[in-house]
Structure 1
Amino acid sequence: MAYWQFSFWAIPKKSLLDKYSNIPNKITEEDFNSVDWFINYSSESFLNSIDYLTENQHWNKDTIFLGDYDSNSIAISYDNMNKLIVEIYFRIDLRGNYEYIVKNMLNSLCLGNLIIFDENLEKVRQTYDGLMSKLKFVIDQKKLVEYRLLYSSTSKY
């Protein structure tokens, strides 16, 4: 993941409830990779809501790619043989004003009845304040790393 991005996956709420009987705060990597999360998922409302990113080509022909590689994007990977979604992956560009894209992505997630899991497979609060708080935390952590790198390269031992 690029330094200036925040990425996350979206999983259907119904699939999580079917698997766990509740929405877990974290899912295992094994479950994430082995469960067919989208087997009974109807993607129409979700796909129709994404009018804020333009469709572009993806290197994988089985992926619908909306947005830009170097900016905000949504990648929807398909199993063409079974005509099923395999995963939905979001990326937010943190270099500028990202409030507009956050609001639009949250709207799409709500319309699609999808739940956010970050790259550690931990659930992210699915409200504007919840996601903005997570983004602020990520940005602050990146600034701390920058500061430490700068300080360590300029300090004399």
Structure 2
Amino acid sequence: MAIWQYQLFVVPEEETNSYFGDNLFINNNALNEINWWKYRQLSIDNFNNFKSFLPLKQSWSSDIILFGDESSNCIELLIDNNRIIEISIRIDVRNDYKEFVYALCDFAQTYGCVLLNDTLKVLSSTVKLIEHDIMIHPLYKLFLDKLNE
């Protein structure tokens, strides 16, 4: 992941509530060990709203369905046995990312999901909250510092 990319994971809200209740953070082991999509499955068609600005592309891995560009804005769907097991998002802060954040929040609200940032903080899917989390993220500050050098 580049310093200009802010990363999120998408998980079903009921699963975070079931495992973690009102906790604001989950642990790294939980991210990797919990089968987040065991009781609810999305299909690639659920991501059609993103295709207008994140075209479907070939990933480096045959287990990943990629929307967008790995070095910019993208959605990666990790697939196992034809099922989505992880949804990872990267937002390119070098460009105007507002349309992507709006679409992402709309997607999460439509499908009852929450977002986890790279510190695994549970974020509700509101545009202002995601934009604020991007602005206070240490990598974003590092990117701005490098840009201003």
Look up the match of 2:41.
42
What are the equivalent positions in structure 2 for 1:75-94 lying under 5 Å apart? 75-80=76-81, 83-94=82-93
Aligned residues: 146
Structure 2 letter corresponding to 1:75 = E
**Which runs of structure 1 show a deviation greater than 3 angstroms over 4 or more consecutive aligned residues?**
143-147
Structure 2 letter corresponding to 1:132 = E
Structure 2 gap segments, 5+ residues each: none
> Higher relative contact order at CA 8 Å, sep ≥6: structure 1 or structure 2?
2
Is the 1:46–1:111 Cα contact (8 Å) retained in structure 2? no
Paired residue secondary structure (1:133) = helix
Alpha-carbon distance in 1 for matches of 2:94, 2:29: 33
Which stretch shows the higher mean deviation, 38-47 or 137-146?
Answer: 137-146
Is the 1:49–1:111 Cα contact (8 Å) retained in structure 2? no
Look up the match of 1:126.
125
How much is the aligned-residue C-alpha RMSD, in angstroms? 2.3
What are the equivalent positions in structure 2 for 1:47-126 lying under 5 Å apart? 47-52=47-52, 53-80=54-81, 83-126=82-125
Cα offset, 1:33, TM superposition = 1.0
Question: 1:5/1:101 Cα in 2 relative to 1: closer, same or farther (>3 Å)?
Answer: same
Cα offset, 1:125, TM superposition = 4.0
Structure 2 letter corresponding to 1:26 = F
1:142 aligns with 2:142: yes
Compute the TM-score of the two structures, normalised by the length of structure 1.
0.81
Is the 2:9–2:116 Cα contact (8 Å) retained in structure 1? yes
Percent identity of the aligned residues? 23
Look up the match of 1:29.
28
Structure 2 letter corresponding to 1:73 = C
Alpha-carbon distance in 2 for matches of 1:59, 1:72: 16
Structure 2 letter corresponding to 1:135 = I
Question: 1:42/1:86 Cα in 2 relative to 1: closer, same or farther (>3 Å)?
Answer: closer
Alpha-carbon distance in 2 for matches of 1:23, 1:46: 28
Question: 1:14/1:46 Cα in 2 relative to 1: closer, same or farther (>3 Å)?
Answer: farther
Is the 1:50–1:108 Cα contact (8 Å) retained in structure 2? no
Alpha-carbon distance in 2 for matches of 1:79, 1:130: 31
